[in-house]
Amino acid sequence: APWKPVLLLLSPPTFSTSCARCAKDRRLRQKRAISERQLTRYFVDHRKVRVVGGRGGAGGHSFYSEPRKIFGGPDGGNGGDGGHVILKADRQTKSLSSVLPFYQGCHGERGGSKNCYGANGAYVYVKVPVGTLVKEDGEVVADLTQHGEEYVAAYGGAGGKGNRFFLSNENRSPTLFTPGEPGQERVLHLELKTTAHAGLVGFPNAGKSSLLRAISRAKPAVAAYPFTTLNPHVGIVHYQDYEQVAVADIPGLIKGAHQNRGLGVTFLKHIERCRFLLYVVDLSVPQPWIQLQDLKYELEQYDRALSERPCVVIGNKIDLAESRVNLPLLREQVAERVIPLSALTGDNLEELLWHLRELYDTYVKTEKSRGQTPVKW
């Protein structure tokens, strides 16, 4: 009988990122390296915006005239109102990176003859994430917490009056008409109350960006020099029950950050908007618990409540020989749970993902018990 090829349909094998052999395959599938300058879009949780309402249209100036009715009187209509600039909360928007630094409403049209009113200027809607705080001169003027909630950031100017408006018994042929009023002008500061569910906190070159690339599809810049990340990046961790946990890669912290050194207060504000913290410690350095103590000290000097938030300690670079020696010493020095892993090879990532889900579920239960709606990503 002639030989016939047989096609076997085999199910793809299930791999574990903790397996040493699969870790080698993981290195072959690493994401393309990209620098911070090449990142055209990154996560932005604060933005300064100048908003100007549209100018109102001028009033019309005309007199009605037709055959056998020469003196028909004034018929100049009023001008249209200028358009507003409106901030609208949208659950599909997760960052303020798409918000421009300047917005202006559409101008109203001029009033026409035959008592025709000018058209009103169209409104300009600016989509912002749910949970956006709107501040003016340091004071909160709006808190957009629900999907579809709107706030008028700048009102448009009123339209001018046409000469028909000034018709009276004393003045049967008014020539007076008024121009439109200018729109309201304001400078607003937009801030997100929640940057992400979890925040990766650590010193430069601790491996925060590499860890975020390993557990999500985010592509923050990774390099062998400090301060590779200058802006926060957010990655989404997907679970089988369709829950999504947002993890933020916060720019590196240095000593004296609470005194505005380095990225300073800007860095600490990013941490303030995270619900729970993931301390990333480099296990390969001597006495890695000193890093954890310095991190907590900087947080306490800025806001004591930050150091009291739910947290876990991540010992990165466990693939190095020095890290395996320092791991038991670190566990003796700290009271929090320590999860050793390697963002480079993918060793023990499952333990982090399981514990991350536990922190998220605890956060959801706590918010519901308080009668508040937990932030969903």
Q: Are residues 227 and 362 in the same domain?
A: yes
| Claim to verify: residue 53 and residue 182 sit in the same structural domain | yes
Q: pTM for the complete prediction? A: 0.67
Torsion of the alpha carbons at 17, 23, 29 and 30, rounded to the nearest 10: 90
Separation CA 273–CA 262 (nearest Å)? 19
Residues 184 and 215 in one domain: no
Fill in the amino acid letter for 244. Q
**What is residue 296's three-state secondary structure?**
helix
**Structural domain contains residue 223:** yes
Task: Tell me the chain's radius of gyration from C-alpha atoms.
Answer: 30
Residue 72 lies in a domain: yes
State the residue for tokens 């397996």.
19
Residues 147, 245: one domain?
Answer: no
- Identify the pLDDT of residue 186: 95
Residues of the chain with pLDDT under 70: 1-43, 220-231, 252-267
Say whether both 177 and 78 belong to one domain.
Answer: yes
pLDDT of residue 67: 79
Domain holding 188: CATH number?
A: 2.70.210.12
How many domains is the chain built from? Answer: 2
pLDDT given for residue 109 in this prediction: 93
What CATH number does residue 350 fall under? Answer: 3.40.50.300
Q: Is 56 helix (H, G, I), strand (E, B) or coil?
A: coil
Q: 107 near 54, Cβ under 8 Å?
A: yes
Which pLDDT belongs to residue 266?
Answer: 61
For residue 210, give the 3-state DSSP assignment.
helix
CA angle 321, 327, 333 (to 5 degrees): 145
Domain co-membership, 135 together with 204: no
Q: Are residues 72 and 133 in the same domain?
A: yes
Angle at 88 between CA 87 and CA 90, to 5 degrees: 140
Residue 236: which domain range? 198-370
Q: Please check whether residues 134 and 268 belong to one and the same domain.
A: no
Question: 32-74 pLDDT, tens per residue?
Answer: 554 444 444 566 778 899 999 999 999 998 888 877 777 778 8
Residues 126 and 158 in one domain: yes
- What is the secondary structure of 134-153 as a DSSP string? EEETTEEEEEE-STT-EEEE
Which residues lie below 8 Å from residue 77, measured CB to CB, with a gap of 6+?
59, 60, 111, 112, 113, 114, 115, 116, 117, 118, 162, 164
> Max CA-CA distance within the chain?
116
